[in-house]
Amino acid sequence: MADIARMAGVSISTVSRALAGNPLIPKALRDHIVEIAQTHGYVVNQSARSLRLRKTDTIGVIIPLAHEAGQLISDPFFLEMVGRLADEITRRGYSVLLNKVIVNETGWLERIIQSHRADGLLLIGQSNQHEALNTVSDTYRPMVVWGARLPGQRYCAVGSDNVEGGRVAVAHLAANGRARIAFLGETDAPEAIQRFEGYKKGLAEAGLAFDPTLVVPTPYTAGEAREAMATFLATGVPFDAVFAFSDVVALAAIDALKAAGRTVPGDVAVVGFDDVVQAQHSTPPLTTVRQDLAFGARAMVDLLLRRMAGEDAPSTLAPVELIVRGSSVAS
């Protein structure tokens, strides 16, 4: 910047003002300075600017992983969410700092905040960190979390109506004559628990008894889910439908069912959750509870910017919608 100043024959502060478009500097001079900066490929150093201004024009997107390793790439839901958030953030003139963190040691979030690399934080998923998030949010405002609405929640959350999603999935299966509906999923994370609640609610509304033998604890990844389904099949417990808490799990279940000689939806109807891209391309196409990620991503960024501006933006529920395809009803 000093160089530019010398070249333009003005002081360094004039250059700073000109480059910032400060109207105190006459337009002619401003343009001249901008031009000379441009021809010399000069761009303001963001580290220095951030230090001085105490802001980075950057939003941190954090993917909290509870169980170590778990490659980011594996989950199409995360990936799609990252893409949509990146779009929204970029559109508003901010940069995206992507942050994959293993949330084992306490203080992981505080560390990210204190490093001052971002003006605001977006977490994709609350993992098992509900209390940590509550604590942090008491002192740090510019943060929005994708995840479940929980009682006593003090942080700003945007998430789908998981209970309703589970309920509507089961209602659909019951309405099509299914009576023994298995639940496939983990019940450790809040979102999973809510979908499980919706599952039980749906059963109750349909006049079906809840049968614990139909609950199949199933990990998040395709490989493990396929195994879990195979193991469940081996138990011989009779069932005619599956509600899986994610599409990845549902698609894996379909694979396992086919491998075991069961037809879908003939022998077993399957409903998933998310509506990832491959849901519509599977065989049969997957009936699923669609999460509106476009809405969710927009809402998260909107709320975050409001919080960064000092407002107190509220938590928001994103609508879900049952998408009926071939995996749950004969075509």
Task: Report the interface residues with DNA, using CB under 7 A.
Answer: 1-2, 9-14, 16-17, 19-20, 24-26, 29, 44-45, 48-49, 51-54
Q: Are 4 and 29 in contact (CB under 8 A)?
A: no
- Packing angle between helix 247-259 and helix 76-91, nearest 10 degrees? 150
Report the partner that residue 17 touches, choosing among a copy of itself, DNA, none (CB closer than 5 to 8 A by kind). Answer: DNA
Report the partner that residue 11 touches, choosing among a copy of itself, DNA, none (CB closer than 5 to 8 A by kind). Answer: DNA
Report the partner that residue 216 touches, choosing among a copy of itself, DNA, none (CB closer than 5 to 8 A by kind). Answer: none
Q: Encoding tokens for residue 25?
A: 């500097």
- Shortest distance in whole angstroms from residue 47 CB to a copy of itself: 4
Q: Is 256 in the site for a copy of itself (CB under 8 A)?
A: no
Binding mask of the shown chain, residues 230 to 249, with x at each position contacting a copy of itself by CB under 8 A: --------------------
- Shortest distance in whole angstroms from residue 95 CB to DNA: 15
- Shortest distance in whole angstroms from residue 1 CB to DNA: 3
Angle at 90 between CA 86 and CA 94, to 5 degrees: 110
- Going by C-alpha positions, the residue among 76, 85, 103, 123 that lies closest to residue 246 is 76
Q: Is 281 in the site for a copy of itself (CB under 8 A)?
A: yes
Q: Are 189 and 288 in contact (CB under 8 A)?
A: no
**List 47, 68, 151, 207, residue binding a copy of itself (CB under 8 A):** 47
Stretch that binds a copy of itself, among 19-27, 53-61, 123-131, 227-235 (CB under 8 A): 53-61
Side-chain-side CA neighbours of 76 within 13 Å: the count stands at 13
- Shortest distance in whole angstroms from residue 220 CB to a copy of itself: 15
CA–CA distance, 228 with 248 (Å, rounded to integer): 13
Report the partner that residue 204 touches, choosing among DNA, a copy of itself, none (CB closer than 5 to 8 A by kind). Answer: none
What amino acid occupies position 36? I
- Going by C-alpha positions, the residue among 314, 312, 310 that lies closest to residue 119 is 310
CA–CA distance, 233 with 214 (Å, rounded to integer): 11
Q: Is 93 in the site for a copy of itself (CB under 8 A)?
A: no
Residues making contact with a copy of itself (CB under 8 A): 38, 41-48, 50-51, 56, 58, 61, 71-73, 76, 78-80, 82-84, 86-87, 90, 95-100, 107, 110-111, 114-117, 251, 277-278, 281-283
